[in-house]
Structure 1
Amino acid sequence: MKSQDAIIWGLILKFGNLALVVMDTAFWQKSFATEVSATVPGYNIAAIAIFGIPWGLGTVIGLTARAIHNTPIFPTYPGEFSPSLVNAGLVMPYTIKALIGDKGIIAFFVLLFMALTSTVSSSMIAVSSILSFDLYKTYIDPKASDKRLMKVSHLAVVFHTIFITGISLALNYGGADMTWIGYFRPILSCPGIIPLGLTLAWSKQTRLAAIASPILGFLTGLSVWLATAKSMYGTINISTTEASFPALYGAIASFFSPALYSVIISLYKPDSFDWRRFLLIELAEAPKGDDSETSSPPSDDENETKANTGPNDSQSNGIVVSESPSENVFVNASSDPEKAKTINVGEKSTASISTESEIGNIDLDNVRHPFSEETLQELRRWYRIAWIFFVAVVLITFIAWPMPLYRDYIFTKSFFSGWTTVAIIWQFFAFFAVVLYPLYDGRHAIVKASRGVWRSVNGKFNRT
């Protein structure tokens, strides 16, 4: 059971998976789009279920391939199942082909197609929203209309498609296999982790540090990776750069060096960010009215909500929105109206109070938090739960589980039976957690949406 290569690969994989989650904008957007009471349990369940994929599949498929690769049913027989084929990720399809045949391969490619399209789809949505809203509207055209932003978003999708296709073709023709990509991924994605954390937790980090430190960190990791490969093996090529030690040293340099760069750059030209600026809620497009032909009448639930909403409810979140024709938006600074900041909203103008000039005119000492105290306590509770779960998962997966097995020990038959049984059970748990439980948890929303679709379709048929 003792394997130094396995420990090194595990460390590289940990760096890569951490970067995969932290730096994946799709993860951030999904978490922002849901309530914290759903985000934290959902991510915690996924953190447990994810072990069923590499552990269960790796145990079953890997050992099966090991047992049958020299038999006539294996696709490469009588040839050798070479390391290059293993590094290319062909263990699973070849094993399925040997055991199930062509139908199994078809099912495998359907599964692979669904996984890839889901990943690429979420990536496209995340990248397009970042390029259109966070980049184009923030820095290029702050007054861009919705129609303009939609065009930019579509162009971003096209650009993203061409970019990832070009990168994939370049890696393929360059001879990069799945192992090389797995070793290179932490070097590429880890440099942004610590600067991102400092951006959210350290008010002294400057804009220049947040931008420059990930770039410098990547260059540092890349230099360490290539220099180590050159020093250890005398040359730099696909084989030497996908060795374990150069990749590990490169990942460590990419992960930790941005912390040093960020602190040095921030202290060179100090600045301080006032976190209270996040209390200023942004209001997006505020159209004056809806087209009567395209708007649907309010539902009974909406009428009941409006009936139960008092005139002072709009002020409970610290943002006062006037329902008068002038559509004035007030930042409720305090009970004193003279301390309130008023922004006029036109028919299609954007009411945003987060620009530098407008924030400078607002007394942040008097801005009230948009969340109630009960909501803040609930957020803090889930924050503590997330940290406790994070520490527990790290201790279990880094220490309690792998370290006792790192010794000169050969599995007994009973231990091996228990190992494989738990791996298979965990895989079925992952299936229930990812596929079946969301259907149960969202059963009310599914029923409500289905009823809405049925009413809409039925209404159209009745009108015709």
Structure 2
Amino acid sequence: MEPSLSNATGYCVIILGSLFFIILMNSITYIQNKYSGHNSRKVEEFVNASRNVNFGLMLSGIVSNWTWSLTLLMSAVKGYQLGASGGYMYAIGGAIQVSIFSFLASLIKARCQSLTTFVELGYFRFGVAGHLSFLWVGFVCNAIVSACILLGGSAVFNSITGINVYACLYLIPFGCACYISFGGLRATFISDATHTCIILVFIITFVIKVYFSNEFVGTPQKMWDALQSLPPVDGNYKGSYLTFNSQDTAVFSVISLITGFGLTICDQSYFARAVASDKKHTSKSYFFAALCWFCIPFAMGMIGVAARALSIFPGFPSLSAEEVNEGLPAVAAIEFVMGKGGAAMMLVMIFFSVTSSFSGELIATSTLISFDMYKRYYNPKATPQEVVKVAKVGVFVWAIFSSSLASIFYGPAKISMGWLFNFLGVGTASGCFPIVLSITYKNLNKAGAVGGSVGGMILGLIAWLCMCKGYLGEINVVNLSDQWVSFTGNVTSLVMGGVISLTCSWIWPANFDFESIRNRTTLYDNKNTVEIEPEQQLEQQSEKSAEDVKTEKDNTKIEVEPETDTSTSDLESKSSFEIEQKYLNRQYKKYCGLVLLMAFVLAIVIPVPLCSSPYVFSPKFLLGFMIIILLWLFFSFSFVIVLPVIEARRGIWRIFKKLVLHKS
């Protein structure tokens, strides 16, 4: 593709956009620190957002964190390659995995409420060996995800503006690091809401313009006619782009599911959101976030289908295989239909997507660096203030590392975003069973946790390489991204991670007592006690506003006075704890059922009849298909954007009175 905008435009979007968010986030952080009970200089606020983020803001953060450049670009690539089923199958591969956290989050709150990272859980249950194996899995996942995010974004910037890819790979992460290092996780959530608003508005605009309002394929009938005139798709029923009956789609759906498991379970940024959320809303946040997110790749997949239809018109850019793997079909379609204005919108949308999702990776990995490396091994006596300082430095360390890794992938290795997507499950899926079982299964032992997470990864890599050599005859970069080669590595990594974990645990059951780690944390670790240390209680108390403290006292009924009857206080505390545990256990069971129902509907009830039947969409069916997508997008907008503002209205008004009206 030839750039349609100037180099200067690309640099301006990156530099001015970064400056805008640096000023915005630091202003919000300053106001928050001064006029609310939240102080980003405190470790609990910086890393965990004081563990009390409300439903709307949490939902927005989860959707934004999962809407990275790969989501927007690769779903369109699959629509371009496979047809209407491509974006849908990509969406299933992410939504189900995110929804699984809706019941895992309840168990995290019930069984290990003071943890900050899933890697800590590896240490408290399995010692140093378990800790290091989980730490390795976490860093591998975050490294691949970070590189994917940056490679996808830089490819779009380069194709639209001709900007130097290496400059893009370093400038965007540096800008993210600047505003994240000041505001911490809560600043990330606020940034997420802003980013997601723009992304959803632009996607709605793209869908309306491409399918209902352009001179080329601006009606479902014209789109249908254009797609029917294309050469047939190998493996699709009647070679059509408007069918779910596709052999390649079936293979891709498995790869997508396994990749989604690896990314979601092994990515510390998802665990961090479970930790940061309010106990009352954590399960609900993940479940509705999955539903809201689903329509984003679903819609972008249909933009990829439109790119195929538009390819029959003179002037549409001819995309090479490399450009397709870099995620450019959606860019080409929007630019062709909407001109330079569309190209500019696409540029801004990808910038917002990259910065939003990458900021989550920065917080996640800086937490691993500060908690699970610095505090655990280098300076066990580090104070919370020292841990915060290391976390802030870790933000910049990871930004530099990610930029360098992505540069190596782009340059010497010639590895694209699409290649990394196919490899993701091979490198990450082995940790899924060990990590989930460490939260849910008392009999998981050290051999199962370590062997499953590390051994499964090794076996997955061996199967991946052997399949490449045996099936294609030669191991090289291109062959390693073949769908059957990727399928073999992905499945082996996930399955063997589970087999090793469960087999070892059945032979030597651990019978672990979750109560022993309920209040343990690396920050104040004392394995001889179960209760939170007094210093942690004081710090957590200082980070809450007066209103939050009052609410918490009202809810828990724990209020120690000099004259308080200790036995009565203990009884009330015990009663409050039992009520809380019962609530979290009910949420766990409730959302287990809801997740199974959602998975059954989205993965079986809807696609199986379409995939198994010899059916090609009619123009009217295509119209209904696109109307459903549009309605779903508006539904997501109301939840992700409108709801957080409604929930925060009292706090916003309180701060407004203090700032503008000078009233307390």
TM-score range (shorter-chain normalised) is 0.7 to 0.9
Q: 1:178 aligns to what?
A: 417
CA deviation after TM superposition for structure 1 residue 448, in Å: 3.3
> Residues 127 and 449 of structure 1: is their aligned pair in 2 closer, same or farther, counting only changes over 3 Å?
farther
State the 1:9 CA deviation: 0.8
Return closer, same or farther for 1:143/1:107 CA change in 2, 3 Å cut-off.
same
What is the CA-CA distance between 1:253 and the residue it aligns to? Answer: 0.8
1:87 aligned to which of 315, 319, 325? 325
Instruction: State the 1:19 CA deviation.
Output: 2.2
**Equivalent residues of 1:213, 1:258 under 8 A apart:** yes
Aligned to 2:468: 229
**TM-aligned CA deviation for residue 44 of structure 1:** 1.5
1:131 shift after superposition: 2.0
Amino acid at match of 2:347: F
Matched, 1:188 2:393: no
Deviations 1:362-407 (A, max 9, x none): xxxx9x8584333223222221221111101211122111110113
Q: Secondary structure at the match of 1:36?
A: coil
1:43-442 equivalences under 5 Å are 43-59=286-302, 61-74=303-316, 76=317, 80-173=318-411, 174-207=413-446, 209-263=448-502, 271-279=510-518, 280-283=530-533, 285=535, 313-314=558-559, 371-406=576-611, 407-442=613-648
- Counterpart CA distance in 2 for 1:307 and 1:202 is 33
Q: Distance in 2 between matches of 1:116 and 1:149?
A: 27
Distance 1:29 1:284 in 2: 23
How much has 1:255 moved relative to structure 2?
0.7
- What code does the residue aligned with 2:256 have? L
Number of equivalent positions = 403
Q: Which residue of 1 aligns with 2:267?
A: 24
CA distance in structure 2 between the partners assigned to 1:459 and 1:48 by the alignment: 41
State the 1:244 CA deviation: 1.2
Q: TM-score, normalised by structure 2?
A: 0.55
- Looking at CA atoms only, which structure, 1 or 2, has the larger radius of gyration? 1
Deviations 1:213-238 (A, max 9, x none): 31111111111112112111111122
Tell me the SS of whatever aligns to 1:313: coil
Measured against aligned partners, the alpha-carbon deviations of 1:7-64 in whole angstroms (never above 9, x if no partner) come to 11111111112222222211211122222332222222111122211211211x1232
The answer (yes or no) to whether the contact 2:469–2:475 under 8 Å persists in 1 is yes
**Matched residues in 2 for 1:24 and 1:286: separation?**
26
**Partner AA of 1:400 in structure 2:** V
Residues of 2 paired with 1:8 and 1:26: CA distance? 28
- The RMSD of aligned alpha carbons is 3.5
1:36–1:382 contact (8 Å) kept in structure 2 = no
Letter in 2 for 1:106: A
The residue type paired with residue 68 of structure 1 is: L
Structure 1, gaps ≥5 residues long: 290-294, 316-321, 325-333, 341-365
What TM-score comes out, normalization by structure 1 length? 0.77
- Cα separation, 1, equivalents of 2:325 and 2:658: 49
Kept after mapping to 2: 8 A contact 1:52/1:427: yes
Tell me the secondary structure at the aligned position of residue 37 of structure 1: coil
Partner AA of 2:517 in structure 1:
F
Please give the alpha-carbon distance, in whole angstroms, between the structure 2 residues aligned to 1:269 and 1:180: 39
Kept in 1: contact 2:433–2:452 (CA 8 A): no
Q: Letter of the 1:107 partner, please give it.
A: M
| Greater relative contact order, per chain length (Cα 8 Å cut-off, separation 6+) | 2
In structure 1, give the amino acid aligned to 2:388.
Answer: M
User: Identity percentage over the alignment?
Assistant: 25
Which amino acid letter does the alignment assign opposite residue 579 of structure 2? E
Mapped contact 1:56–1:426 kept (Cα < 8 A): no
**Gaps in structure 2 of 5+ consecutive residues:** 1-242, 519-529
Summarize the Cα distance change of 1:141–1:211 in structure 2 as closer, same or farther, 3 Å threshold: farther
Does the C-alpha gap of structure 1 residues 305 and 107 become closer, same or farther in structure 2, counting only changes over 3 Å? Answer: closer
* Residue correspondence of structure 1 range 32-51 to structure 2 within 5 A: 32-51=275-294
CA contact (8 A) 1:229 1:236 kept: yes
